[in-house]
Structure 1
Amino acid sequence: MYTIIQKIKLSTGDVKMREVLMNEKTNLLQLEEHFYQLVDVDEPNTFRNLFPYSEVPKIAFNDRIVPHNMPEDIWITDTTFRDGQQSRAPYTTEQIVTIYDYLHKLGGPKGIIRQSEFFLYSKKDRDAVYKCLERGYKFPEVTSWIRASKKDFELVKDIGLKETGILVSCSDYHIFYKMKMTRREVMNMYLSVIRECLETGISPRCHLEDITRSDIYGFVIPFCVELMKLQEEYKIPIKVRACDTMGYGVNFPGAVIPRSVPGIIYGLNTHAGVPSSQIEWHGHNDFYKAVNNSTTAWLYGASGVNCSLFGIGERTGNTPLEAMVFEYAQLKGTLDGMDTTVITELSEYFEKELGYVQPSRTPFVGRNFNVTRAGIHADGLLKNEEIYNIFDTGKFLNRPPLVAVSNTSGLAGIALWINTYYRLPDDRKVDKNSKLVTMIKEWVDEQYDEGRVTTITDNELVVQITDCCKKLNIVL
């Protein structure tokens, strides 16, 4: 450690030394940043230059780059039963337990899906919590989300949960316009509530609502510094969830805060001193950036990303949990034991039990996510499915690549449909020169010559193939 002879006098009268410290991860000497104090203001800072409201929001750059800092251990947390349940009809207790079982199986033995959060407001919610706790799973850990009140803290304690989420809105939009308070007033109130939570022995998870419109260094960082002081005092971990409530976050290097995801995570970790293992990102998809922003949070120092199944959540939804499973695998080079076939099982359960049908082109779960209609693509798939399939979807999702037969499918598309639908082994597969394929192609052409505009259905194809097989005296 090297100490620079520089003293900073704080407003409190204290003197702080700036020091040069060795970063053991990067092996570089770094200058300790200056001390951040709450900036109380008379008027709210709504960043009108970035959020004019009467115009599309602006993405500005100052080209200040922060380093990648992905933690050794990263994970997913689930909000299907909290944020996800706020935007749809409530799940029954039985449905919650079934989905929780699926999450446990999907997360694998290493518990990559680390936690699942629950409401505790109603008897139904509490019954679901008790039943999930009875499963005895280590992962996902059951955690809660409550109102910031002593009564609710006691409820968490009575149920036996170790941690709970608490809403701590942090933008001036919320502080001034919704809560009708000043920054100092709201900070003091939050710290008082969090201290009450700590007094009950419960670990608080502070949900920094609307962080992408907040004054990061004037409010968020000073507040989190105070949280770390409480953590040191009580010896109880305090997590910080950075909530991109309106989906304004961007992942572009050099973008300015408060929209910069790298800048937010860097500030929480480096300047507020929040350990990576206690930083979590919660994104919304208003600008189609939920997945990218969540991945970026991992890359710049957050261990956790908070997701919901299929992205079901407020307005445009949350970060889809299934998407982050595959983001994890791409970043880490391994699934670490996650069973991705459960994603297909969950999608089928949601459709059959809840009547929730995925949009057909949704990655990994949509009915047509790995279905091709173009004849030239089908020809490539017939020769080698790697040409037009993202990975072995049959292995990882129990969803082999398919083709939809139409006037553009061609002979190759029909051959591929037959081989896939009937699951023909290699020694029995048909190709585009097969007489059976030619007969089906002639029938398909007739359909469209007569004015048809819709795709040929599976049932129609089965009927025609059965009839042609009889005529050709073959069995598939």
Structure 2
Amino acid sequence: MPLSDVVIVDTTLREGEQFIHADFSSESKLEIARALSDFGVRYLEVTSPAASRRSREDAQAIASAGLPGTVAAHVRCHPDDAAIALDTGVGALHMVMATSPILRAASHGKAISEVVRMAAEVAEFVRKRAPDVSIRFSSEDAFRCPLSDLMNVYLPLAELKLFDRFGIADTTGAATPDRVADVVGLLHRLTAMPIEFHGHNDIGCAVANAHAAVTNGATHINTSVLGLGERNGITPLEGMIAVMYAADRAGTMARFRLDALPGLCRRVAELAEVAVPFNQVLVGETAFSHKAGIHTKAVYNDPRAYEALDPADFGLTREIAIGHRLTGWNAVRVRADALGMRLALSDLKEATARVKHAADGQRLTLDDVDRILAEVAAESTRRSA
């Protein structure tokens, strides 16, 4: 599947709500849902309506908001949870159940055969009550589960023809891309079903794992804005968008309002009461910053020399730092030109030397650089007089 065609299943309104600092109000949830929809996301996952009265009301409000696409409720493999979710009007149910030995023992205590039976019974219940509702079954903690156990879950369920999609979750965020590629590839080949990948970021591999999942058969990827979620969170929406854009700029730009992404991230950060990390993919304050002299020279000549992504496509601008000891005369020349100064090469190199010397002793502002340039320009004029 081409990377630009992958379906983003954004779970900021479910996984993001589980972020330790998040406490989204009902109004905030609806605002986030609309912002995600405006950006171009067409699949939103919300907290189980069975979790609380407000969770039910929030799910119903989002499902009835008239947003394009699908609103899915994340539920346990239990008919009561499914019934409560269906009453809210959501268009999909995302059923989940633990499959790894350690998580089965610590949570529901069921054998693999019982996992299959419970998932099948709930799916049959949903099909009878709401035949048009999409159903996804996902195995929680799949990548710490023996492959034999995983296949003993998915293969019998695939034969029932009750599910629209299978999910597979790296719940502890400890999987690596090679492991994800092997497991997702095997599941895709043996079931011939659409596959949804949910990856946590505990060892920093969430985006790479999502990429490995797609290139090995996954059709859907779970994301959240800024990667908000349990512990270190999951695949960040902006990270996945960056991967898709790098693979197919035109296709990604056609699907999403990329210039809306920075504002979406800033707003969700504000609602979660956290700062956008300085080095966050695409939207961090240093994402398009350049400093070293050899970098700045090349970027002035052709930004693609040191940028895989074009900031203009995201409504952003690049920053090229000048006032530091690593600066080069090409960067100083561009600043001089911007000020209307046409300095000889010898003067530019003198100004650059003075900037470097001054920066060795203190942090310089752009005004400091401009002052040095003005001094060098004045000396050059006096020499020519």
Other-structure match for 2:366: 461
Q: Provide the C-alpha distance between the structure 2 equivalents of 1:211 and 1:350, rounded to a whole number of angstroms.
A: 29
- Retained in 1: the 8 A contact 2:242–2:282? no
Other-structure match for 1:339: 257
Other-structure match for 2:382: none
- Retained in 2: the 8 A contact 1:283–1:319? yes
Q: CA deviation at 1:305?
A: 0.9
Question: 1:128-147, aligned counterparts within 5 Å?
Answer: 128-139=58-69, 141-147=70-76
Deviation digits for residues 207-228 of structure 1 (CA, Å, limit 9, x no counterpart): 2111111122x22223223323
Mapped pair 1:316 → 2:232 = yes
Paired amino acid for 2:52:
S
Other-structure match for 1:60: none
Other-structure match for 2:18: 86
Q: Secondary structure at the match of 1:146?
A: strand
Q: Provide the C-alpha distance between the structure 1 equivalents of 2:181 and 2:160, rounded to a whole number of angstroms.
A: 26
Q: Provide the C-alpha distance between the structure 2 equivalents of 1:320 and 1:72, rounded to a whole number of angstroms.
A: 16
- Retained in 2: the 8 A contact 1:210–1:244? yes
Q: CA deviation at 1:470?
A: 12
Other-structure match for 1:250: 176
Deviation digits for residues 55-79 of structure 1 (CA, Å, limit 9, x no counterpart): xxxxxxxxxxxxxx66995311111
Distance 1:446 1:297, change over 3 A: closer
RMSD of aligned Cα (Å): 3.5
Q: Secondary structure at the match of 1:168?
A: strand
Q: CA deviation at 1:375?
A: 2.2
Q: CA deviation at 1:229?
A: 3.5
Other-structure match for 2:32: 99
Other-structure match for 1:154: 83
Q: CA deviation at 1:319?
A: 0.8
Q: Secondary structure at the match of 1:153?
A: helix
Other-structure match for 2:129: 200
Decide which of 269, 285, 288 is 1:367's aligned counterpart.
285
Question: 1:230-245, aligned counterparts within 5 Å?
Answer: 230-231=160-161, 237-245=163-171
Q: Provide the C-alpha distance between the structure 1 equivalents of 2:345 and 2:260, rounded to a whole number of angstroms.
A: 37
- Retained in 2: the 8 A contact 1:197–1:203? no
Other-structure match for 1:268: 187
Q: Secondary structure at the match of 1:407?
A: coil
Structure 2 residue ranges without an equivalent (≥5): 379-385
Q: Provide the C-alpha distance between the structure 2 equivalents of 1:418 and 1:325, rounded to a whole number of angstroms.
A: 37
Q: Provide the C-alpha distance between the structure 1 equivalents of 2:141 and 2:188, rounded to a whole number of angstroms.
A: 18
Other-structure match for 2:7: 75
Q: CA deviation at 1:178?
A: 3.4
TM-score between both structures, scaled by the size of structure 1 = 0.68
Other-structure match for 2:317: 399
- Retained in 2: the 8 A contact 1:207–1:242? yes
Q: Provide the C-alpha distance between the structure 2 equivalents of 1:266 and 1:377, rounded to a whole number of angstroms.
A: 40
Structure 1 residue ranges without an equivalent (≥5): 1-68, 108-112, 253-259
Q: Provide the C-alpha distance between the structure 2 equivalents of 1:164 and 1:373, rounded to a whole number of angstroms.
A: 49
Decide which of 46, 68, 71 is 1:118's aligned counterpart.
46
Paired amino acid for 2:43:
Q
- Retained in 2: the 8 A contact 1:262–1:296? yes
Q: CA deviation at 1:368?
A: 0.7
Q: Provide the C-alpha distance between the structure 2 equivalents of 1:324 and 1:250, rounded to a whole number of angstroms.
A: 16
Q: CA deviation at 1:397?
A: 3.7
Query: What is the number of residues matched between the two proteins?
Result: 371
Q: CA deviation at 1:432?
A: 7.4
Other-structure match for 1:182: 111
Q: Secondary structure at the match of 2:73?
A: strand
Deviation digits for residues 118-157 of structure 1 (CA, Å, limit 9, x no counterpart): 1123344344434433441223x21111233333222222
- Retained in 1: the 8 A contact 2:4–2:248? no
Mapped pair 1:299 → 2:215 = yes
